[in-house]
């Protein structure tokens, strides 16, 4: 083998042979995850299905062969081939390890990931993969000698003939297996997002297209917004804390029926748990702007979401004080126009709750008492948690919350047993339960001064190895329910219930029997602060149908 490699490096080879070798490597190993996904989705019933599957590497090889032949100069071909291998190697590893798909949303997640979060994805397996199957092949590409071009006319003619031959092979496959490809791709449309390099090339292009919208003018919504005093006003200010969860899935909340007691503390509070709640997306970068937008999931346009007023902007226009406190990877544009505190940045070197640029969610409560002491107007405080962010679930909670064992204390979660992985994730929910409980207890201390409320809503769910899928970010149309079903918890103080004339029995019944989603957040926030505007729709307000007086908010 080493003699062959040495001979390959020392002896000049033709450009056609060089391109062929690169195309074979890209079409085979660097697309191994794609073929595994195809095999899992393809029902092989006979020789025709076997031959159909075997045509896939041939087609991929031909496409990559044609792509590389579009570049004339050998040095440029070497550069392009090296870039493709350098990107495809970690992409294939992540897809194989976590079964994630590569698209614009996943690329946006990567761009939004903090440095600390990025380090959690660097594993020994990834490093070995990049060295053996990325850097080593690139080194060979750099060292290999390609025969010099003596006759440009003959050289270009040979290249053209090679491309024509590859095109004819694709046409032949299409002629023989068009129905197979059409049916398979129609029934498994998302599977193409496992195919490299087309998946990340398409993602990069779509991200470029998305960024073009940055220059669009900002659209002001809710200029007509104003607060109307409640019919049962007691003269006190309304103070609400909204906790935005990170990667918490409904399936693991004991408030919703989960067999393990992950919500022991909240079970003792007078909270309402909404049994059937879904997210707008499967990633923070998508769901977070969506849940604060007036657009529903069906008509949501991520290109426009941060180019128009959201719920926070409209509340602020109406006179409600807003404070966004962040312990995650930022607000994705949602809090750009309201007061914001990045507690991770503020306390990362000054608190025992923070280590290596990541803080436990207790840190969010550090400055709250002082802030609550000086409130003069109705106020909404948003606490953006790091919650259950993976893959390092074991780093999301202090040791005293290690309730379920054994745990998966590594970022190579695919190597852990299912029980250990779920135990670790459940411990993050136990800790989240404690953080929410502490926040409610804090609000209770101000019961004599304010009408207080708290809502907890996660941004999206998480896969924990079910069907060999990990983490999140799958396209919504094919995402498993673990990534789209999320917890929603609401706590209302007695004074707030009385002021808003909330029928608690009605609310509890609705929470158990009616479907809810992140579409409800925009209108519920406006409704809970009695904000009147044409942007508000009572039917999407969580409390809209459970007020016993005619206190619904209609457009002025």
pLDDT: is 346 or 231 the higher one?
A: 346
Mean pLDDT along residues 329-337: 94
Question: Has residue 40 got a pLDDT over 50?
Answer: yes
pLDDT digits (tens, 9 = 90+) for 394-414: 999 999 999 999 999 998 898
Confidence category of residue 232, pLDDT binned at 50, 70, 90: low
Using an 8 Å Cβ cutoff, are 526 and 534 in contact? no
Alpha-carbon distances of 370 from 374, 442, 549, rounded to whole Å: 7, 11, 35
> Which residue from 165, 104, 78, 92 is spatially nearest to 129, judged by alpha carbons?
92
Question: 366, exposed or middle or buried, with CB in 10 Å at 0-12, 13-18, 19+?
Answer: middle
Mean pLDDT along residues 297-322: 95
Predicted confidence at residue 270, as pLDDT, reads 94
Range scoring the smallest mean pLDDT among 29-43, 448-462, 538-552 = 538-552
Predicted confidence at residue 506, as pLDDT, reads 95
DSSP state of 357: T
Using an 8 Å Cβ cutoff, are 333 and 349 in contact? no
> Which residue from 372, 512, 344, 347 is spatially nearest to 441, judged by alpha carbons?
372
Predicted confidence at residue 223, as pLDDT, reads 95
Question: 555, exposed or middle or buried, with CB in 10 Å at 0-12, 13-18, 19+?
Answer: exposed
Predicted confidence at residue 20, as pLDDT, reads 95
Question: Has residue 8 got a pLDDT over 80?
Answer: no
pLDDT digits (tens, 9 = 90+) for 237-257: 999 999 999 999 999 999 999
Question: 367, exposed or middle or buried, with CB in 10 Å at 0-12, 13-18, 19+?
Answer: middle
CB contact set of 63 (below 8 Å; sequence gap of 6+): 166, 170, 198
Please report where in the chains the tokens 């470029």 appear, as a residue. Answer: 208
According to the per-residue pLDDT averaged within each range, which of 92-106, 141-155, 356-370 is highest? 356-370
């Amino acid at each position: 083998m080493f003699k062959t490699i040495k001979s390959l490096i020392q002896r000049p080879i033709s450009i056609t042979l060089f391109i062929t070798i690169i195309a074979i490597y890209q079409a085979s190993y660097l697309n191994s995850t794609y073929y595994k996904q195809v095999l899992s989705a393809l029902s092989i019933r006979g020789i025709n299905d076997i031959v159909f599957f075997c045509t896939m590497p041939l087609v991929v090889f031909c496409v990559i062969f044609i792509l590389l032949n579009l570049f004339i100069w050998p040095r440029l071909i070497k550069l392009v081939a090296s870039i493709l291998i350098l990107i495809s190697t970690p992409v294939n590893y992540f897809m194989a390890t976590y079964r994630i798909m590569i698209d614009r949303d996943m690329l946006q997640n990567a761009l939004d990931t903090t440095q600390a979060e990025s380090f959690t994805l660097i594993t020994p397996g990834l490093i070995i993969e990049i060295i053996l199957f990325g850097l080593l092949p690139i080194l060979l590409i750099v060292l290999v000698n390609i025969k010099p071009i003596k006759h440009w006319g003959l050289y270009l003619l040979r290249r053209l003939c090679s491309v024509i031959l590859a095109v004819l092979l694709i046409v032949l496959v299409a002629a023989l297996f068009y129905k197979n490809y059409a049916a398979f791709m129609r029934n498994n449309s998302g599977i193409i997002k496992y195919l490299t390099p087309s998946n990340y090339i398409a993602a990069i292009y779509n991200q470029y297209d998305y960024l073009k919208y940055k220059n669009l003018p900002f659209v002001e919504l809710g200029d007509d917004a104003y607060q109307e005093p409640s019919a049962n006003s007691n003269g006190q200010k309304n103070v609400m804390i909204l906790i935005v969860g990170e990667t918490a899935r409904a399936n693991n909340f004991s408030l919703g029926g989960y067999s393990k007691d992950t919500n022991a503390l909240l079970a003792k509070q007078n909270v309402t748990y909404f049994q059937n709640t879904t997210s707008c997306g499967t990633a923070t970068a998508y769901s977070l702007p969506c849940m604060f937008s007036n657009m529903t999931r069906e008509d949501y346009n991520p290109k426009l979401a941060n180019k128009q007023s959201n719920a926070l902007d409209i509340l602020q226009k109406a006179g409600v004080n807003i404070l966004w406190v962040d312990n995650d990877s930022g607000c994705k544009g949602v809090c750009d126009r309201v007061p914001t505190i990045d507690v991770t940045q503020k306390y990362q070197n000054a608190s025992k709750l923070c280590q290596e640029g990541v803080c436990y969610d207790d840190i969010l409560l550090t400055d709250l008492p002082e802030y609550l002491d000086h409130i003069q107007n109705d106020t909404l405080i948003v606490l953006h948690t790091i919650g259950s962010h993976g893959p390092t679930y074991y780093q999301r909670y202090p040791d005293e919350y290690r309730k379920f064992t054994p745990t998966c204390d590594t970022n190579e979660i695919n190597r852990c047993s299912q029980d250990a992985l779920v135990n670790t994730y459940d411990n993050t929910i136990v800790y989240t339960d404690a953080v929410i409980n502490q926040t409610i207890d804090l609000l209770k201390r101000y019961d004599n001064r304010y009408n207080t409320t708290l809502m907890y809503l996660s941004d999206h769910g998480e896969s924990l190895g079910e069907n060999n899928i990990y983490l999140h970010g799958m396209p919504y149309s094919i995402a498993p329910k673990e990534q789209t079903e999320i917890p929603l918890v609401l706590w209302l103080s007695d004074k707030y219930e009385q002021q808003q004339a909330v029928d608690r029995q009605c609310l509890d019944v609705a929470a158990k029997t009616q479907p809810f989603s992140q579409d409800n957040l925009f209108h519920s926030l406006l409704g809970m602060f009695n904000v009147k505007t044409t942007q508000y729709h009572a039917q999407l307000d969580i409390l809209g149908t459970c007020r016993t007086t005619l206190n619904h908010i209609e457009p002025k």
